[in-house]
Amino acid sequence: MSMDISEYQDIILSLRKLKPDPIVLATRNEGKVRELQQLLLGTDFKITSMASFPGVPEVVEDGDTFEANAIKKAQVVAATMGRTTLADDSGLVVDYLSGAPGVHSARFAGPGHDDTANNQKLLQLLSGVPQEKRTARFCCVVAIATPDGKVATTRGTCEGIIIEKLKGKNGFGYDPLFLIPRYGKTFAELDSATKNTISHRGQALQKARVILAAAADKGNS
């Protein structure tokens, strides 16, 4: 993809100085791990996840923005493990709900609740709301952090509509309720290749790939 990388020179230079340890994905969410690994296929970078390091504590996501949470996760894990770390924070922003659930998307129904509970709460809050007022978007921020404290972020968004009942078996989270009008399908009904092309996470990670590729290309020259 075409992208101006001039603003990312600090992180690129830092990446070139590091030994080629696998990049750590700062998540234990298996759904995210699968998506991130698929989106990074074909690069020269080896990937591992937090599931391989059970001793590393979870990072509390207490930021007010997706950027703040992604940066915190990436920097804490990078500093703790001494490895380049890629973290993301993402969520659903519903216009009728003034931006909720937003950064609270994963725990919308409260601590200890799952995707089913989150979806049920969303449907309850939108009960009786007409389709034209059910507009929403998924947002994702990816942060790349190096052990020396350098960090860069990329962002992606995907517009859609919240439907009235679950459709589809793929994906996770709010995917079965998030309809993409131009496809006439929810995220959970799309195949992985299509979803990764248009999704908020796919967009943000493709931009992150450009940064990683720029570091790898120069390092090999």
Q: Which of 169, 161, 153 is nearest to 203 (CA)?
A: 153
How far apart CA 28 and CA 58 sit, in angstroms, is 9
CB 214 within 8 A of CB 6: no
- The count of C-alpha atoms lying within 13 angstroms of the C-alpha of 178, restricted to the half-sphere facing its C-beta, is 26
Q: So what's the pLDDT on residue 221? A: 41
Residue that has been written with the tokens 């490895």 in this structure: 83
C-alpha dihedral, 189 to 190 to 191 to 194, nearest 10°: 180
Domain at 6-219, CATH from 1.10.510.10, 3.50.30.40, 3.90.950.10, 3.40.50.300: 3.90.950.10
Query: Please, what is the end-to-end C-alpha distance for the chain in angstroms?
Result: 21
pLDDT at 157: 97
Task: Please state the separation of Cα 129 from the chain's center in Å.
Answer: 28
160 forms bridges with which residues in the sheet?
Answer: 136
The per-residue pLDDT for 189 is 97
pLDDT of residue 71: 97
Residue with tokens 């703040």: 68
Q: Is 89 a catalytic residue?
A: yes
Q: Which residues pair with 145 in a beta bridge?
A: 85, 151
State which amino acid sits at residue 21: D
Catalytic site residue from 89, 114, 148, 217: 89
**pLDDT tens for residues 198-218?**
999 889 988 998 888 888 775
- Tell me the per-residue pLDDT of 102-131, one tens digit each, with 9 for 90 and over: 999 999 999 888 999 999 999 999 999 999
The helix/strand/coil state of 65 is coil
3-state DSSP call for residue 84? coil
Give φ, ψ of 208 to 5 degrees. Answer: -65, -35
Rounded Cα distance between 102 and 206, Å, is 22
Per-residue pLDDT of the chain (221 residues; tens, 9 = 90+): 567 788 888 888 888 887 667 889 898 877 777 767 776 776 667 778 888 887 788 888 899 999 999 999 999 999 998 889 999 999 999 999 999 999 999 999 998 889 999 999 999 999 999 999 999 999 999 999 999 899 999 999 999 999 999 999 988 899 999 999 999 999 999 998 899 889 998 899 889 988 888 887 754 44
